[in-house]
Amino acid sequence: MKPTMYGTERPMTANRLLLQLLRRVDILFFVMIIMWKLAWFNRTLAIPNMSTVPSDRLVALGAILIVGAWTLWLSQRWRTFMLMLLNIVLTLIIFSDLVYYRYFQDFITVPVLLQATQVSSLGDSIASLIHVTDITLFIDWLVLIPLSIYVFRTERRAARQLHLAAPTVRNSHSRWKRTISVAATLACGAFLIAAPIQQATSTWAKGILVGNWWNPAIYNVTGLLGFHGYDIYRYAQDNLFGGATLAVDEEQQIREWLDKHRPQLQGPPAAFGKYKDSNVIVLQAEAFENFVIGQKVNGQEITPNLNALAKESMYFNRFFHQTAQGRTSDADFTVHASLHPLPTGSVFIRYPDHAYDMLPLLLKQQGYATGAYHAYDASFWNRYIMYGNMGYDQFMSKNDYKMDEPLGWSLGDRSFFRQSVERMAQGNQPFYSYLVGLTSHHPYNLPQEAQKLNVAPHDGTMFGDYLQSIHYVDAAVGEMIKDLKQRGLWDKTIFVFYGDHDNSILETEPLAQLLQKDISKLDMIEMKGQVPLLIHLPDGANAGTYDRVSGQLDIAPTLLHWLGIDTSDKTMMGTNLLNDDNRLVVQRNGSATDGKVFYVPSADGLFENGTCYKYDTRQPIAVAQCKPQADEAKRRLQVSDLIITRNAIQTMRESK
């Protein structure tokens, strides 16, 4: 027997054969397993219009090689061990993205990670998004983790037996060999990524990495690991390397768009200042979709109080939420700033210290007492910081409420509304009060005693639970209105009720059963995009149903017009709700509608692969007929992003 670096050579055994095999193929196993997991992830998402071409696999392979290349420099025992850890980390990233996508239809980004405490508060919502089949991602761990630990221990024992005769020369040679292997693997990985992406971004995906695209569209080009790499680069560029400075041409682009848009902020001259010094109460209802208004289940009205309110208020039945990843905080931002949310993360967390023409701040400057009410942690969505900058005099959060009706996430909306009205009634008038309800939050689990509807055949389903929670919120709103009337506030107040975003329930079958009709693609797009907006004016004027497209950005300029506050010098992107002409509602993913056509972009971001629906037929038409709407949508999102990320309002004020 001759000496070797592993001691005296011994007869080949099954264990030694296994070790020899693993030394040669551990990196290959790693690449194959992660490739399979990424392919499974892509199939599970099944994003419509997502490109599936051979180059996708090349990009994925290149990303895996880059991620794992550094392990080739390590010794055998450490390489196997680190590949196991990499497998665990990448699997958890894939799994996290999968669960996140099921709720947000988007991927986790650096700004989202910076607000990770928000995600940890989702609790039951996250649990309900995990499917049994997701265990597929973790099956390989049952074999690879114990096997990697076995290899690590065995190799460590072998190293201890290593002779000291000639290791120096061999180790020096080994280091050069490993360094070359790492460099070659990195170069190969970079080429496998760069070539397909270069081809895509110079042809069908031109401009996708520089425009304001939906993140899944970027994923369609870069793959999941490439997307996260690009996201890190994008975040560093915007926040660490001077990307936040407003360039001269960017300022000109913003000013030109705002100057052209400014007349749309104005309403009819007769309405200007008509409700000057009125109180304003804005109630944001969680996950409250519009289809429930006026609807019955088993002969029972789902929203009897809101149905009654709609008859004596302005009811906008084609009102769209315009939120993105920030969800509830995005609705808060879009309503008060009349700007679009960011494509990734929440403005509340990413740019809370930038300047905005916020509704409560503008009202505070006019002598209003301003208050925000939310029976949850003050730190959630960074509200305790953002609300001060938005101009609120007071912020009543969870610790300020008596928890006499614990329900769902926090305090039940009945008690929340009652205690909030008590506080605002004790303060000065006129006041601006903004309330954020919670009881209808995903996953909509109410205790049996709070469930008052017969929702058969949807008992025990998330859809049935959703209807129960909506019915509860409706009853709470009814009690709140009675309370305001008894306190003599109702006839002195502009009361606004709207939903913040969709309910994340994507099944069409329960909707078809409830509405007793087939649900077309356009129907579903509308129902996921539309939330109710009801505005009751102090004298009950203008009551009726307004069959015009509108969105959350439109609320602030409309309220300011009624209150007699000039918006001609304000940086807002909404359209006064009283204007019926030249309306366009833009959503964060680039969807846009003027009430006649509805453009829905494709996941690959290519205009011609999008879909254009005609409202009167509710059928797809030639996509070219939606080109003006799609172009303007992209332009608006670009302008809004520049205003937010470059702190353009502050810069433009200083340059005057």
Under 8 Å CB-to-CB from 543, ≥6 apart: which residues? Answer: 311, 312, 313, 314
Query: Which of 579, 612, 630 is a domain's end point?
Result: 579
Residue 438 and residue 295 share a domain: yes
What confidence score (pLDDT) does residue 77 get?
73
CA distance linking residue 427 with residue 278, whole number of Å: 14
Helix (H), strand (E) counts: the chain: 22, 19
Residue 476 and residue 522 share a domain: yes
CA distance linking residue 622 with residue 210, whole number of Å: 27
Under 8 Å CB-to-CB from 231, ≥6 apart: which residues? Answer: 109, 110, 344
What confidence score (pLDDT) does residue 165 get?
41
Residue 636 falls inside a structural domain: no
| Residue 628 CA from chain centroid, whole number | 26
Q: Which three-class secondary structure state does DSSP give residue 369? A: strand
Residue 277 and residue 223 share a domain: no
CA distance linking residue 301 with residue 311, whole number of Å: 15
Of the candidates 655, 649, 494, the one whose C-alpha atom is nearest the C-alpha of residue 573 is 649
Cross-strand partners of 7: 4
| N-to-C CA span, the chain | 88
Residue 336 and residue 209 share a domain: no
Residue 629 falls inside a structural domain: no
Range of the domain at 365: 268-579
> Which CATH number fits the domain that encloses residue 290?
3.40.720.10
Residue 483 and residue 417 share a domain: yes
State how beta strands 369-373 and 314-320 pair. Answer: unpaired
CA distance linking residue 208 with residue 194, whole number of Å: 15
Which residue numbers in the chain have pLDDT < 50?
A: 1-10, 163-170
Over residues 399-409, the pLDDT tens digits come to: 999 999 999 88
CA distance linking residue 396 with residue 330, whole number of Å: 20
State how beta strands 493-499 and 533-536 pair. Answer: antiparallel
Residue 231 and residue 282 share a domain: no
Query: Which of 579, 603, 625 is a domain's end point?
Result: 579
Residue 338 and residue 218 share a domain: no
Q: Lay out the sheet containing 585-586: strands in order across.
A: 585-586, 592-593, 597-600, 611-614, 619-621
Residue 539: HSE in the Cβ half-sphere, 13 Å Cα cutoff? 6
Is residue 456 within 8 A of residue 475, CB to CB? The reply is no
Residue 147 and residue 46 share a domain: yes
Element (H, E) at 16: helix 14-45
Cross-strand partners of 611: 600
What confidence score (pLDDT) does residue 242 get?
55
For residue 317, what are its two tokens?
């039945």
Residue 51 and residue 186 share a domain: yes
What confidence score (pLDDT) does residue 163 get?
46
Is residue 565 within 8 A of residue 366, CB to CB? The reply is yes
Neighbours of 308 (CB within 10 A): 14
Number of domains in the chain: 2
Residue 349 falls inside a structural domain: yes
- Give pTM, 2 decimals: 0.78
What confidence score (pLDDT) does residue 199 get?
86
Cβ burial, residue 12 (10 Å; 0-12/13-18/19+): exposed
Residue 320: HSE in the Cβ half-sphere, 13 Å Cα cutoff? 27
Residue 590 falls inside a structural domain: no
For residue 304, what are its two tokens?
């009897």
- Using CA of residue 631, residue 554, residue 343, residue 497, what is the dihedral sign? negative
How does 590-607 read in b/e, with b if 16+ C-beta sit within 10 Å? bbbbbeebbbbbbbbbbb
Residue 484 and residue 377 share a domain: yes
Cα 590 to Cα 83, 258, 464: the distances in Å are: 40, 19, 31
What confidence score (pLDDT) does residue 116 get?
64
Residue 396 falls inside a structural domain: yes
Residue 350 falls inside a structural domain: yes
Of the candidates 463, 454, 457, 476, the one whose C-alpha atom is nearest the C-alpha of residue 407 is 476
Residue 255 falls inside a structural domain: no
Residue 201 and residue 284 share a domain: no
What confidence score (pLDDT) does residue 22 get?
61
Cα 118 to Cα 107, 313, 348, 377, 416: the distances in Å are: 15, 35, 12, 10, 21
Residue 584 falls inside a structural domain: no
Is residue 510 within 8 A of residue 463, CB to CB? The reply is yes
Residue 548 and residue 412 share a domain: yes
Query: Which of 219, 239, 259 is a domain's end point?
Result: 239
